[in-house]
Amino acid sequence: MRYSHPVHIYRRRFQLPITLVISALATLVLFILMHRMGVSPRLLAFDLLASTYRVVVAYLISLVAAVVIGFLVTRNTTVEDVFLPILDVLQSFPSFAILPIATLWFGASDLTAIVFLVITIIWPVLFSIVSGIKNLRGDMSEAAHVFGARGFGLVWNFLLPAIFPSIVTGSIIGWGEAWDAIIGAEIIGISTGIGAFLAISSRAGDGKTLALGIFTLLFFVFFLNKLIWLPLLKKSTQFATEE
């Protein structure tokens, strides 16, 4: 099936320049608004970057962990029977409950945010990878073996590309949940980041700054989706196994 997107510009060849132009315009509008409202762009940018840093680091850790754990727990049916139910139970653990414990250990720091985020992000990525591995076509693994893929070569040339679509799908969900979670965490306890920015504006009764913060966040998340996740999703349809 061909990849298609309901919005026409996504199919165009020059979609990248268009996205960049739109983004530049939006950024310009944001700066003008900030200037008029007397909000420091540096403060907002700093908070946004602090949140992004936490999300990116936590996502990368989760990705590597999920790939490794995914391959370990699917090694054979016995291991699978033992570990999958355990992971299922762990997954249902409400991740926000980690926040007070992590804060107790590490303070209201980046580390706390990252630990909490990893525990949030890893599940969709891991379970997507596990189902990807379990749905690998038998004859394709046989082909990889017959044509000599072993050890690292098997992982790099067969297993990783074969589960690439699952990695992308899981990552998009995990990435979305990560933003939910980090903003929640920053509103509740961690005193820096875009969530904290919103909470402080709200407490100060500054509706305009609050709206500006939300708009900036919205635009930023859209921008990342458009530039990173949509192209990856498109790429992954090329990797997908057909029936």
Partner 1 sequence: MGLVVNNVSKSFILPDREVLVLDSVSFDVDAGQFCAIIGPSGCGKSTLLRLMIGLDVPSEGSVEFNGKKLSLGMGVSALVFQHFALFPWLTVFENIEFGLKMKGVDAAKRKKIVEEQINDVGLKGYSDKHPKELSGGMKQRVGIARALAMSPELLFMDEPFSALDAFTAENLRADLLRIWKKYKMTVIMVTHLVEEAVELADKIVIFSKAPGTVEKIIDDKLSRPRAKRSSGFYTMVDTLTRSVRF
Q: Which of residues 111-140 bind partner 1 (CB under 8 A)?
A: 137, 139-140
* Other CB atoms within 10 Å distance of the CB of residue 58: 25
Does 143 sit near partner 1 (CB under 8 A)?
yes
Is 142 a residue that touches partner 1 (CB under 8 A)?
yes
- Listed ranges 8-16, 119-127, 155-163, 208-216: which one lies at the site for partner 1 (CB under 8 A): 155-163
Q: Which of 24, 32, 49, 240 binds partner 1 (CB under 8 A)?
A: 240
All residues at 6 or more sequence positions from 103 whose CB lies less than 8 Å from its CB, including other chains? 112, 189
Distance CA 174, CA 189 (A): 22
| 6, 38, 94, 148: which one binds partner 1 (CB under 8 A) | 148
Q: Which residues, including other chains, have CB under 8 Å from residue 216's CB and lie 6 or more apart?
A: 30, 44, 48, 194
Are residues 165 and 130 in contact, defined by beta-carbon separation less than 8 angstroms?
no
Task: Indicate which single residue of 116, 123, 127, 158 sits in contact with partner 1 (rule: CB under 8 A).
Answer: 158
CB atoms within 10 A of CB 232: 16
Interface with partner 1 includes 21 (CB under 8 A)?
no
Residue 59 CB neighbours (<10 A): 20
The two structure tokens encoding residue 174: 């995990």
Residue of 53, 223, 229, 239 interacting with partner 1 (CB under 8 A)? 239
Decide: is 191 part of the binding site for partner 1 (CB under 8 A): no
| Binding map of partner 1 across residues 163-182, x = CB under 8 A, - = no contact | -x------------------
Q: Is the Cβ–Cβ distance between 114 and 58 less than 8 Å?
A: yes
Between 35 and 137, name the residue whose CB sits nearer to partner 1.
Answer: 137
Q: Among residues 19, 157, 192, 225, which is the contact residue for partner 1, using CB under 8 A?
A: 157
Query: Minimum distance between the CB of residue 236 and partner 1, rounded to whole angstroms?
Result: 9
Position 61 contacts partner 1 (CB under 8 A)? no
Kindly state the smallest distance separating residue 239's Cβ from partner 1, in Å: 4
Nearer to partner 1, 14 or 147 (CB): 147
Backbone φ, ψ for residue 118 (5° rounding): -60, -45
Three-state SS annotation for 112-155: HHHHHHHHHHHHHHHHHHHHHHHCCCHHHHHHHHHCCCCHHHHH
Query: Is 145 an interacting residue with respect to partner 1 (CB under 8 A)?
Result: yes
Q: Could you give the CA distance from residue 202 to residue 240 in angstroms, rounded to a whole number?
A: 45
Q: Which is nearer to partner 1, 38 or 151 (CB)?
A: 151
Residue numbers at the binding site for partner 1 (CB under 8 A): 137, 139-140, 142-150, 153, 157-158, 161-162, 164, 238-242
